[in-house]
Chain A
Amino acid sequence: MKPLLSLLALSCAMARGATLFLGAYPDAVIAFDESKGQIVDRIPLTTGLPTSIRLSQDKKKIYVTTNDHSGIEVIDVATRKVINHFELSTPTRRFRFNGGAPDAEGKLFYTVTTEIDKLVDRYEIGKPKYTVIDLGQQKIVKTVDIASEDENANAGGYVRGIFELSPDGKFLYQFRDKVVILNVDDFKVVDRMDLAKPDLPGMENVGFGGLLDSIGEPGQHISLFNAADPVVHNRLFGIARFDLATRQVDFTPIGPAPQGMAGLQVSPDKKTAYTVVSTGAHGNKRCEFWAFDLATDRITKTEEVACRTRFSFGMSGGGKKLYFYGAGFEIEVYDAATLKYEKTWDLNNDVTGAGMIVIP
């Protein structure tokens, strides 16, 4: 009886449709109901324009960073209300930052900031620093200089590599061309895992891509990766799983890396994955959907698609639809089974590059 009830609940949830949360111009996060095909809520942000949105580990809160006044806003997913917001900027001091990671309790937010001070005769732009923001006190409580060899990867006030916290909250992982493991108390580098060697013998130039929210699993960082063999430099792409507790890396190569890929979206049953690959540039740019069977790691279907010049790729909560969104005000909907265009949803609002969070 129990499996039947679970199946019934799952089918009800899929029929109900998920809610999509997207950053929107000029200062809002919009909640879009998949089943209704319309915006059901508009959450105003008092601190400005959303540049990144991130779901908490318990999936109950959304953390938003904004750039007008270097702000952070916390949204309660259930009520769709802002429950905490504050600005770091003052009239003479600003901070540039974009993205970061909250701790499990939702008290601290880890990121990289660049401080800009307005002096009498000039602006002084500081070096990027690891930063701890206390969400309760609503201020920066700690900054730590970044080791010179990691400075370039953190320049510009942007967290270029994705931050993840270990399950015990003691270590902070930054995923880029290597995995940098930091002690959260003093930001001392505990370890730098050079993925090219020796953890991945026979490969070079390994790099983690962005976080795959669609297969987010507790305690794991899962992303696309690119690699090349050291002899003929044949480029491969695949899926990498990094265990945040044991620091074990598990790579599954899938195939030759195309010129460009728009992330990987994995269906909820984890059997099928989709990506959009692009070749050529400007007027000669061509895009294709690629569908993968993850059991055999093979491409099962391809379909040419008229992609935008610049876009983000997403998936519906049930995994039945694929989305193109940004830059602009529309979401184009494609059927995941046939890879054919279905319809376009008009948001009547430009979305930012903050990304999309799907709440089933």
Chain B
Amino acid sequence: MRHLQPLNKKARRISDHVTSLSQDVVALQNPQGGQPRPHVPMGCSLMFSPGWEVDAAGGTAGLCQPVERDIYDCWVTCYWPAQVPDHMNNYPNWTSKCAAATKDWRNLDLVYP
């Protein structure tokens, strides 16, 4: 049946309905094409994009190892800003005592928003 394509609006609605029955509905999900990707729950990453805790595949194999290697780029590239203090505006010196995060992460400043 896969070679059959809906041609008009009604046919498309029927097709969408049939498709929706076979999928889980996930809160705040984006419409995605292609390969289904894991849904990372809100509590794990506040910007709905995998952070240090999991990679885009929902595992840990794609993370920098150890994960502390990546901690600074979280705020430089602003890709995972939710997990680290806001360096650009409010806490510019939170890393000033820690040159190598993997070794000296205990020297990172604690931040109390």
Contacts and interface: CB of A to CB of B under 8 A. Distances in A.
> Do A and B belong to a common assembly?
yes
Interface of A: 24-27, 48-49, 51, 67-68, 281-285, 308-310, 327-329, 347-350, 352-353
Contacts of B99: 24-26, 329, 348-350
Contacts of A49: 76
B99 to A, nearest CB: 4
A156 to B, nearest CB: 10
Interface string B67-99: 001101100110000000001100010011011
A283 B62 contact: yes
A111 to B, nearest CB: 18
B44 interface: no
Contact of B100 (A27, A48, A350, A352): A350
Contact of A282 (B57, B73, B102): B57
A327 B87 contact: no
B76 A68 contact: no
Contacts of B72: 25-26, 350, 352
B100 A348 contact: yes
**Most chain B beta-carbon neighbours within 10 Å: one of A24, A350, A353:** A350
**Most chain A beta-carbon neighbours within 10 Å: one of B92, B100, B103:** B100
Given A26-B95, A51-B76, A282 B59 contact: yes
B75 to A, nearest CB: 9
13 contacts: A68-B92, A282-B56, A282-B62, A283-B61, A308-B64, A327-B64, A329-B103, A348-B103, A350-B100, A350-B102, A352-B73, A353-B73, A353-B77
A345 B70 CA distance: 19
Interface in B5-35: none
A67 B59 contact: no
Nearest to B92: A68
Contact of A67 (B61, B64, B88, B96): B88
Contacts of A352: 72-73, 76
B101 interface: yes
B76 A309 contact: no
Contact of B102 (A68, A328, A353): A328
A309 B62 contact: yes
B40 interface: no
Given A26-B96, A328-B64, A328-B69, A67 B103 contact: no
A310 B70 contact: yes
A310 B92 CA distance: 25
Contacts of A308: 64-65, 69
B98 to A, nearest CB: 8
A310 B102 CA distance: 15
Nearest to A282: B62
Contacts of B64: 308-310, 327-328
Nearest to A118: B89
Contacts of A285: 62
Contacts of A350: 69, 72, 99-102
Nearest to B89: A94
B95 A329 contact: no
Given A25-B95, A282-B55, A282-B61, A329 B102 contact: yes
A328 B73 CA distance: 10
A103 to B, nearest CB: 27
B83 to A, nearest CB: 15
Interface string B32-53: 0000000000000000000000
B95 A309 contact: no
**Most chain A beta-carbon neighbours within 10 Å: one of B72, B73, B98, B99:** B99
